Structure 1
């Protein structure tokens, strides 16, 4: 059983639940914003260690901006907007309903 868990890999942003509107999906898109990954990289097949290493890099990249989009320089803010607008459109086309996420939060 332990071996099975250690061999689990990420399904890739394009195959993630909710059209990729998940914490891992956000991590990948943020890596795109900061140029840590090419926008073609969906992290399909990545293991937990690779995802964690990416998380560490992305978190460090956000630090100078207090993890706030509003504090990004204009070119990064624009790139963030483009990436996330496309992500929301893709997710909605693939059945994601943000209202259900809000309801889930309220029921916890």
Structure 2
């Protein structure tokens, strides 16, 4: 096992800008995945002619929407990770701290 020292990135305006762009990309990806999941839910409702409240614990529903559900939650995790990385970059950027 190697003894490694973790070096933190240099917190610059450029890094903050890259993190902001990354955040926006993940936000858009999350919205698209959410729309795909909602579309899968709507298709299931139409296909099964459900007129009352949808039971999301129904095994048939879960099987029909599993792929979109997992993609949506993976996109949400990526979005929240990008959000935290952006917040950390803004908080640690000395150039931005002096501007405030």
Q: TM-score, normalised by structure 2?
A: 0.33
Q: TM-score, normalised by structure 1?
A: 0.31
User: Looking at CA atoms only, which structure, 1 or 2, has the larger radius of gyration?
Assistant: 2
| Structure in which a larger fraction of residues adopt helix | 2
